[in-house]
Amino acid sequence: MFTAFARTAALAVLVLTLPACRTAQKVPTADAPASTSAPAPSTVTREPSVPPATPSSPAAGTGSGKPGKGGAILAGKRQVVIAPVGSAESVLTVDDKGRLSLTDGPSDRTLFVLVPVGDGKHQIRTAKADESGEPACMGLRDGSVVAAACDAGRAGQRFTLESEPQRGGKAAYTIGAKGGLRLSVDRSGLVATPGRGTPFTLVDNGAAPAGPGD
């Protein structure tokens, strides 16, 4: 009888302890999920690498080393007629006295080549040779402009061409000489005087002939 009572008591104790065990277990709730996975690594957005900037290519027709017509004239590659602005059909020529003066008719003596001699200066050389078999260069003498043997070292043969507003769609220039003088047209021909000077246009007449040493 004692044994039966002991079994009954042990069973009662087991029944009483079961809810306590169940209560000790962690029950998942809506606020605390039963299992949580490790947080996903944060994603860092990186800007795509950009190659270093390079200089842009020059626009077509510029910087190519091939001068346009105006550039070729000032580079001594073209022969030109020099025409005073506002002087009707008159152009510069080397007259029979060897002076630079005006004429109304074209001839070999009205063609010139502007030869660069450095420092932004040019010789005004005849396109055709004279009786000596060589072209002549314009130079200063007593205020007049006369033809002489070419010598790039002579200050009187070194001229500057200073750009003026275009005239009739053509580039125009005043021609400067040593001592701050400028070339002007008067009744006696071309003279070098102080002041603004006469503006001239340069009329292209084709490729320049080869000069001495070319």
- Rounded Cα distance between 158 and 62, Å, is 29
| 102 has a pLDDT exceeding 60 | yes
The reply to whether 97 falls in a domain is: yes
* Residue 116 and residue 192 in contact, taking contact as beta carbons nearer than 8 Å: no
The range of the structural domain enclosing residue 127 comes to: 69-207
| CATH number for the domain harbouring residue 201 | 2.80.10.50
* Residue 182 and residue 196 in contact, taking contact as beta carbons nearer than 8 Å: yes
| 137 has a pLDDT exceeding 80 | yes
The reply to whether 24 falls in a domain is: no
- Rounded Cα distance between 16 and 19, Å, is 7
The reply to whether 83 falls in a domain is: yes
- Rounded Cα distance between 100 and 198, Å, is 14
Q: What is the mean pLDDT of residues 194-208?
A: 93
- Rounded Cα distance between 41 and 160, Å, is 75
The reply to whether 187 falls in a domain is: yes
pTM beyond cutoff 0.85:
no
What per-residue confidence (pLDDT) applies to 178? 94
DSSP SS3 for 12: helix
Task: Give CA torsion, residues 59, 65, 68, 70, to 10 deg.
Answer: 120
The reply to whether 52 falls in a domain is: no
The reply to whether 135 falls in a domain is: yes
Strands (DSSP E) found in 39-150: 78-84, 91-94, 100-103, 112-118, 121-126, 136-141, 144-149
The reply to whether 101 falls in a domain is: yes
The reply to whether 17 falls in a domain is: no
Number of structural domains, the chain? 1
Tokens of 75: 């580079």
Q: Please indicate whether residue 68 or residue 14 has the higher confidence score (pLDDT).
A: 68
pLDDT band at residue 195, thresholds of 50, 70 and 90?
confident
